[in-house]
Amino acid sequence: MHTDVMGYDPLAERLTALRRELHRYPEPAWYEYRTTCRVIRELQQQGIPVLYGRALHCPKAMYGLPDDHGEALQRAREEGCDEKLLAQLTGGYTGCVAVIRGDQPGKTVAVRVDLDCNRLAESGDEAHRPVREGFASHHEGCMHGCGHDGHTAIGVCLAESLWARRGELRGQVKIIFQPAEEGAGGAASMTAAGVLDGVDIFLGMHIGLGLEPVGTIAASAYGFLASTKMDVTFHGRGAHAGLCPEEGRNALAAAATAVTNLLAISRSGQGASRVNVGSLVSVAGRNVIPSEARMGVETRGETETINAYMESSALRVCEAAAAMYGCTVEHRIMGRAGSADCSSALAKRVCEFLGRQPGVIEVVPAFHFRASEDVTTMMRRVQEQGGQATELMLGSAIAAPHHSERFDFDEAVMPLAVRTLTQLILTLVE
Amino acid sequence: MHTDVMGYDPLAERLTALRRELHRYPEPAWYEYRTTCRVIRELQQQGIPVLYGRALHCPKAMYGLPDDHGEALQRAREEGCDEKLLAQLTGGYTGCVAVIRGDQPGKTVAVRVDLDCNRLAESGDEAHRPVREGFASHHEGCMHGCGHDGHTAIGVCLAESLWARRGELRGQVKIIFQPAEEGAGGAASMTAAGVLDGVDIFLGMHIGLGLEPVGTIAASAYGFLASTKMDVTFHGRGAHAGLCPEEGRNALAAAATAVTNLLAISRSGQGASRVNVGSLVSVAGRNVIPSEARMGVETRGETETINAYMESSALRVCEAAAAMYGCTVEHRIMGRAGSADCSSALAKRVCEFLGRQPGVIEVVPAFHFRASEDVTTMMRRVQEQGGQATELMLGSAIAAPHHSERFDFDEAVMPLAVRTLTQLILTLVE
Amino acid sequence: MHTDVMGYDPLAERLTALRRELHRYPEPAWYEYRTTCRVIRELQQQGIPVLYGRALHCPKAMYGLPDDHGEALQRAREEGCDEKLLAQLTGGYTGCVAVIRGDQPGKTVAVRVDLDCNRLAESGDEAHRPVREGFASHHEGCMHGCGHDGHTAIGVCLAESLWARRGELRGQVKIIFQPAEEGAGGAASMTAAGVLDGVDIFLGMHIGLGLEPVGTIAASAYGFLASTKMDVTFHGRGAHAGLCPEEGRNALAAAATAVTNLLAISRSGQGASRVNVGSLVSVAGRNVIPSEARMGVETRGETETINAYMESSALRVCEAAAAMYGCTVEHRIMGRAGSADCSSALAKRVCEFLGRQPGVIEVVPAFHFRASEDVTTMMRRVQEQGGQATELMLGSAIAAPHHSERFDFDEAVMPLAVRTLTQLILTLVE
Amino acid sequence: MHTDVMGYDPLAERLTALRRELHRYPEPAWYEYRTTCRVIRELQQQGIPVLYGRALHCPKAMYGLPDDHGEALQRAREEGCDEKLLAQLTGGYTGCVAVIRGDQPGKTVAVRVDLDCNRLAESGDEAHRPVREGFASHHEGCMHGCGHDGHTAIGVCLAESLWARRGELRGQVKIIFQPAEEGAGGAASMTAAGVLDGVDIFLGMHIGLGLEPVGTIAASAYGFLASTKMDVTFHGRGAHAGLCPEEGRNALAAAATAVTNLLAISRSGQGASRVNVGSLVSVAGRNVIPSEARMGVETRGETETINAYMESSALRVCEAAAAMYGCTVEHRIMGRAGSADCSSALAKRVCEFLGRQPGVIEVVPAFHFRASEDVTTMMRRVQEQGGQATELMLGSAIAAPHHSERFDFDEAVMPLAVRTLTQLILTLVE
């Protein structure tokens, strides 16, 4: 029993408080300055060793890294982050790794959680719990709409829990707090920097995604969609829209026709495919033919072949849309995630373990993921080295779909995750 | 002869310096804080009476007034504007009126110049004279791409010139420095506030527009396009673009299909029509179905009937595009300009006068305007009161079309304009 | 007085009967077999010399000539046309020229009327007079929707009227019955074949077009739109739409995006422009990705420069649309019409003449045409030779716009046209 | 051994000859007059009882039945069909059922083959075997592009083979020759008419679909896509495209924007979805705004829920596209196919049987179908009655994808199918 006679569970309280604080201050990919500082401070207060800074990243693999960090840093500063710590993170070198060494030699287990939020405006509706209970986003246009706030809170408390039981632990555990999952570059950068080197057993995790209620846990996942993120910019020529519109090269018209025809790329008979234009920005006066338009685009595929088909089709559509309006176009790949398979032996072992755990009401051997996750990059790195990897799916009822403005989840998933993972890791390293 | 033995013309020097300074600090509609302060200071230094502030405007007719003025004011402050003066302009109450009373009673002549710039990024190419000669825009995304910098400089020097000769002047001359021409609301606001009341003779002016070289002047214009400016916002619903795209209501897809189909609104057999989407902004993460998209739209027509056809068609297209993607849409009219005709008797008189002026090499009786100008609002108000109005077109070779990123004009038009208008006004009030 | 005591006017009766018969059997461009036979028979019955057959055409200039004539000929045969006569017309060598030589030497006057109908399904509504009074089209998908039935009837009766008064006539009159006006190739073919050679005075004519009521006549027209007609074919690759849609190259998708973006070609600030896709045919099974799509396209411009801009933009859009869907595209120019100006001296003379004619209630010196007419090809040929040309506009109330399914006109225009033109020609050759 | 010493296999010869003859005379859905006559004649020549005519159909369920049968019947007549037989089929009452009763009582087994072709123009390339070997389609715009010619030939020879061995047969076998599979109405009509009543074991079959080479057979299939077929017609208003385009209501523009936006309907995260516009026909003159456009549309979904989402989205897009251009739209459902599951016990039994058959080189337990088939309607009917059903997939290398203009298959699949199915049926009824 984790609760006292009054039904009070201190771990649950702590997780909820931490998650809600993180929910209030969401930070998008590569801007997780406050979040990283917060995690480091929590861990260091317990005496847990933490790695952070440039050594955790490989600049060439920091896909989607924005150019300007001034504003994000300034905000983190105003929100109370330590100036010295920030200096080491500046430039997008966010995220950290907690390292808990057991008293006895043994295997290396890595657990990965992600830190970043979505570029999404949170609902202001009273019916939305974060609004009603006062923990809605304070950062305009940013929202934890995918549960990474919960993942981070779980990561912190899992580190603390393992630290407390390090006497029982063989080998070592790395809790990897990864930035930039939504931008698809964080895992590539950390992996290229060697963060996964030497890992024997890798555990990813995700809450929700349709699995519910709390107590339902999947031991592995399949159907990760391979994905490509890109920025596309159309260049045209401005002109007076009344006097001589025919002199213009309408970059917005090119982009608009690209949007519609990107969505119209033929589905593949080989499996699931996706394409999305998440943003389009073209700004000129109402009486000026717009000379530039920028789009954020993403393609996905059930296999890397399907994603390659979607990516090349998307580029063809953009080229043709530009040509249609006498414009030019350039694109920049901002991230790529592959597909991956969970290690079946590990999944089986986890499955059997879960079947015996208190609080676990149903164990799903393999969950159909249906989305992209750059955790696949880490999983494949571990497997290439001869290690084993799986992605745990933690059931939790959600208030609205992931990445939607009313997303919220059942916080009871968090203490169950911390307790189950602690026990699982102690078991796996035996 | 205006030049000394060395070919030096002090008026031309002064106009060029002033115009280039204004070109460096362009301000868009309703944000002309620095420009207004600069004009007021110049005029007051000469002792010329100037009216400014809330009395010149009618809040209900300030179409397209932006909500937020903080940043624009802050910039003006940083650029050295007087705090007290700014306080009186705050909220978009920009523009001013110089009043030059002659020593003898007589008619009231009004001359109108416009102050605002375009929301357009200026070319950074060395071949562009403002870059080469160091007077390109310091304000990102803003550019004097229609010659209003020249108009303002002409207005200031014309006021000074008439002030110097006020002993010869009958009646009074008002030089109206109007804000927000590009946004179509400045003329409506000043007219509704009574700025044109009591005006007997009204002179508008525009440089360039295809009339060239300097020395060619049109005594009147026809073919002003009626125009409607509107903001259109699509509201949808966000969703995870990989996991459950079908849960979204794609506001960007709706906006994109609206853009293409707006441009495809059928031409009218009754005369010229125009439609432009000057801006589209929709921002979500690459993996989020965008839930909102905002567009700046403008329609025009050779007659008000044609513009009404374009406006209603545009609204129908937007409604249908929203419905197509399960979204909703709302629009807000941000400005309207009508058509108008120059007073033929005045045009004829001006035509004859111009034929006798030094420096004028060709007089065009009536120029085909082919664009919109809210000067029509002022012209119609003067004509309703029994006054006469015309729009002078001042020929000037241009480097690139109006509203394009390389627009520039032959500055020799400015001293010719000041000299010719001074003489014209003194003649008209005789 | 043309009517007898009972109000009966035999010329009006004859014109109405003839026009209504022609209305019943409309034939589109290059298929005017029955119409031509009918005209030849009428003229020959009066003894009027008629030229017809291959000599009137230049095969290289028969733009838009269809490949297959079998069905059209068969229909003409079934409708009673003389086999021998048909043999001479076979292959699209339709149209004819009546030649009326006066008893005295003099100038050559040419009058041109057009024979072809529109590919347009006529309304079946009882409120539509041709339905109510039993002369609606018997040819499915074909309709005299532009008044050429009236033109043809006027041409026949004008020939008869001049023939009857040939004793008073100096020189000669050619009444040119031209095929394929709507397809834009008939005038080019006849002109290239020399039909206009030696013509001193050329009179085109058109009824309706917004000029009304009967009795209003314009002595000339301006604002003919230059125009290009083209056939565009997209080639893709079929595939099973369920099993492997990504294997297809969707020619219909390419054509559809071309349609929308063709309509979206920017208007020109230089003057009126037009673009239309009159037909799109792509036929595959519902479960097959369509591998071919054919479109009939037309562009127009107030000047030939504007039309050239529209034509090249249209080709660029089609190329890009094909590339967007991995298809190829080919186009074939099916006709071109230029712009032209009426001869001012002739127009003035006609204007003065009309002012004195009975039944003419208003004379308009110059009518704004706002459409395309390949009569311009003939006009320019005559002017090149030193002759004079004008296009007469014959006012007539219309029931619905030209080229719409309920088009009909006030038949009273026909006898007025025959009488006025007879007199005009006799006067012009004096 | 089925071949003699010279390698000659008479069954293979007969199948190839029959299949190639059918390939030469392909007939689309509901027009299978010649094909049905041919099948009936073959069967009756052997003395096999055959049912045909109105009793096999339910008029209300004949989805997609065309209105006009005159031309199809005339062609069948010209190709030598018996007039009396045709009279019984007239109106689309095509297809037939061979009934082979065994000498001993027992179960009823049904085998279904489909007769219709695709509306697809066959390649004329010499590299395409049907061209090279002289059996390409004689029917313009029609092609057996899905192997139904092979299915029909197999059905005929299977009937003959079972008839020859009816002494060994318990119960009875019905070979159902179904029309209109591609149009999705044939199975519904025959099922509603009771053709499947009393069937204990149902066997569907399909060749190719990516399964290869000959000798590979799947005992069952899954992943049938639910599907809806519909005809959509846009109604607008014609107008002269030069003179007054704004008077038109452009039905083709509405249809074109519908096409693009139909293809852009969001993919579903729940599973595979499809949408196709197989045809678009809009015909007016190049200078006429088209007043009507007709489209053939199909949606599919991995589940009936997904297809319902696609169907309702498609209707919404069409409604909105019509509204966008001031048009109206109507739609007519032309067919629906559901999803279905093969009976696992039967599939298992078939699987085991196949493993022992000569010529079978690999047995696939369950094949991923990835397309739609109205065989699902029959399967569900049999299962509702307590019977068992499965769909056999017969491996065969194909020259190009199904429904493409170069489709062809390895004919060696046919004798293997006849021999294996004969044996399977004799075994199943034991």
| A199-242 confidence digits (pLDDT tens) | 999 999 999 998 999 999 999 999 899 999 999 999 999 998 98
| C155-197 confidence digits (pLDDT tens) | 999 999 999 999 999 999 999 999 999 865 899 999 999 999 9
Provide the pLDDT confidence category of residue A123 given band limits of 50, 70 and 90. very high
Residue C278 at interface with chain B, using a CB cutoff of 8 Å: no
- CA–CA separation, A65 vs A88, rounded Å? 16
Q: What pLDDT is attached to residue C23?
A: 98
The backbone region for C151, taken as left when phi is positive above 0, alpha when psi lies in -120 to 50, beta otherwise, is: alpha
- CA–CA separation, D165 vs D100, rounded Å? 10
Q: What is the mean pLDDT of residues B224-249?
A: 93
Between D333 and C299, where is the model more confident?
A: C299
Residue A278 at interface with chain D, using a CB cutoff of 8 Å: no
In this predicted structure, the answer to whether residue B3 has a pLDDT above a threshold of 70 is no
- CA–CA separation, A268 vs A266, rounded Å? 6
Contact between A388 and A200 under an 8 Å Cβ cutoff? The reply is yes
Residue C287 at interface with chain B, using a CB cutoff of 8 Å: no
Amino acid at A324: M
| C192-217 confidence digits (pLDDT tens) | 999 999 999 999 999 999 899 999 99
| D307-337 confidence digits (pLDDT tens) | 999 999 999 999 999 999 999 999 998 888 8
Residue B264 at interface with chain D, using a CB cutoff of 8 Å: yes
Choose the closest CB to B264 out of C263, C269, C272.
C263
Distance from the Cα of B131 to chain A's closest Cα (Å) equals 18
Contact between A28 and A182 under an 8 Å Cβ cutoff? The reply is yes
Provide the pLDDT confidence category of residue D129 given band limits of 50, 70 and 90. very high
Distance from the Cα of A158 to chain D's closest Cα (Å) equals 32
CB atoms within 10 A of CB C329: 23
Q: Which residue carries 């070592």 as its tokens?
A: A172
Q: What pLDDT is attached to residue D1?
A: 46
> Which residues from chain C sit within 8 angstroms of residue D288, using beta carbons?
118-120, 145, 276, 278, 403
Predicted-assembly ipTM surpassing the 0.85 threshold: no
Q: What pLDDT is attached to residue A113?
A: 98
Q: What pLDDT is attached to residue B339?
A: 86
Mean pLDDT of chain C: 94
Residue D86 at interface with chain A, using a CB cutoff of 8 Å: no
Asked if the Cβ–Cβ distance from B269 to D289 is below 8 Å, we say no
Cis peptide leading into residue D290 (ω within 30°): no
CB atoms within 10 A of CB D59: 13
Asked if the Cβ–Cβ distance from B274 to C261 is below 8 Å, we say no
Mean pLDDT of chain B: 94
In this predicted structure, the answer to whether residue C2 has a pLDDT above a threshold of 70 is no
Lowest-pLDDT range of A50-59, A290-299, C334-343, D385-394: C334-343
Q: What is the mean pLDDT of residues A89-100?
A: 97
Contact between B264 and D253 under an 8 Å Cβ cutoff? The reply is yes
Percent pLDDT > 90 in chain A is 87
Provide the pLDDT confidence category of residue B287 given band limits of 50, 70 and 90. confident
Percent pLDDT > 90 in chain C is 87
Containing B97, the helix (H) or strand (E) segment is strand B96-101
In this predicted structure, the answer to whether residue C323 has a pLDDT above a threshold of 50 is yes
| A21-76 confidence digits (pLDDT tens) | 999 999 999 999 999 999 999 999 999 999 999 999 999 899 889 989 999 999 99
Provide the pLDDT confidence category of residue B2 given band limits of 50, 70 and 90. low
Q: What pLDDT is attached to residue C185?
A: 83
Amino acid at B139: H
> Which residues from chain D sit within 8 angstroms of residue A370, using beta carbons?
269
Contact between D426 and D416 under an 8 Å Cβ cutoff? The reply is no
Contact between B403 and B426 under an 8 Å Cβ cutoff? The reply is no
Choose the closest CB to A267 out of D260, D269, D274.
D274
In this predicted structure, the answer to whether residue A4 has a pLDDT above a threshold of 70 is no
Lowest-pLDDT range of B74-83, B179-188, C52-61: B179-188
Distance from the Cα of D275 to chain B's closest Cα (Å) equals 14
Residue A324 at interface with chain C, using a CB cutoff of 8 Å: yes
Non-local (6+) Cβ contacts of A199 within 8 A are: A108, A109, A110, A174, A382, A385, A387
Could you tell me how many residues make up chain B? 430
Asked if the Cβ–Cβ distance from C283 to D282 is below 8 Å, we say no
| A262-272 confidence digits (pLDDT tens) | 999 999 999 99
Optimal mutation site among B243, B249, B265, B266, interface D, most CBs of chain D within 10 A: B266
In this predicted structure, the answer to whether residue B409 has a pLDDT above a threshold of 70 is yes
In this predicted structure, the answer to whether residue D248 has a pLDDT above a threshold of 70 is yes
Beta bridge partners of A279: A296, B283
Chains near B with 3+ CB pairs less than 8 A apart are A, C, D
| Range list of H helices, C227-288 | 251-263
Tell me the three state secondary structure of residue B380: helix
Provide the pLDDT confidence category of residue A243 given band limits of 50, 70 and 90. confident
Q: What is the mean pLDDT of residues D99-125?
A: 94
Contact between B237 and A404 under an 8 Å Cβ cutoff? The reply is yes
| A5-25 confidence digits (pLDDT tens) | 667 899 999 999 999 999 999
Of the candidates C219, C206, C225, the residue with the CA atom closest to the CA atom of residue C396 = C206
Residue C139 at interface with chain D, using a CB cutoff of 8 Å: no
Residue A287 at interface with chain C, using a CB cutoff of 8 Å: no
- CA–CA separation, D293 vs D237, rounded Å? 11
Residue A326 at interface with chain C, using a CB cutoff of 8 Å: yes
Asked if the Cβ–Cβ distance from D319 to B321 is below 8 Å, we say no
Optimal mutation site among D259, D262, D267, D403, interface A, most CBs of chain A within 10 A: D267
> Which residues from chain C sit within 8 angstroms of residue B266, using beta carbons?
263
Strand (E) positions, C179-291? 201-207, 216-218, 221-222, 226-235, 273-283
Q: What is the mean pLDDT of residues B97-117?
A: 95
Non-local (6+) Cβ contacts of D164 within 8 A are: none
Chains near C with 3+ CB pairs less than 8 A apart are A, B, D
> Which residues from chain B sit within 8 angstroms of residue A285, using beta carbons?
28, 118-120, 182, 278-279, 296, 403
Q: What pLDDT is attached to residue A235?
A: 98
Non-local (6+) Cβ contacts of D180 within 8 A are: D29, D30, D32, D62, D64, D92, D94, D95, D116, D186, D189
Percent pLDDT > 70 in chain C is 98
Torsions phi, psi for D277 (to 5 deg): -110, 105
Choose the closest CB to B257 out of D261, D270, D289.
D261
Contact between B267 and B277 under an 8 Å Cβ cutoff? The reply is no
Contact between D358 and D1 under an 8 Å Cβ cutoff? The reply is no
Provide the pLDDT confidence category of residue D104 given band limits of 50, 70 and 90. confident
The backbone region for B136, taken as left when phi is positive above 0, alpha when psi lies in -120 to 50, beta otherwise, is: beta
**pTM as predicted:** 0.81
In this predicted structure, the answer to whether residue B183 has a pLDDT above a threshold of 90 is no
Optimal mutation site among A234, A244, A287, interface B, most CBs of chain B within 10 A: A287
* Cα distances (angstroms) measured from residue A158 to each of A106, A260, D20: 19, 45, 70
Q: What pLDDT is attached to residue C243?
A: 85
Q: What pLDDT is attached to residue C184?
A: 59
Q: What pLDDT is attached to residue C6?
A: 65
| B345-355 confidence digits (pLDDT tens) | 999 999 999 99
Provide the pLDDT confidence category of residue A184 given band limits of 50, 70 and 90. low
**How many interchain CB pairs under 8 A, A with B?**
244
- CA–CA separation, B285 vs A295, rounded Å? 11
Containing C12, the helix (H) or strand (E) segment is helix C10-24
Mean pLDDT of chain A: 94
Q: What pLDDT is attached to residue A336?
A: 83
Mean pLDDT of chain D: 94
Asked if the Cβ–Cβ distance from A270 to C323 is below 8 Å, we say no
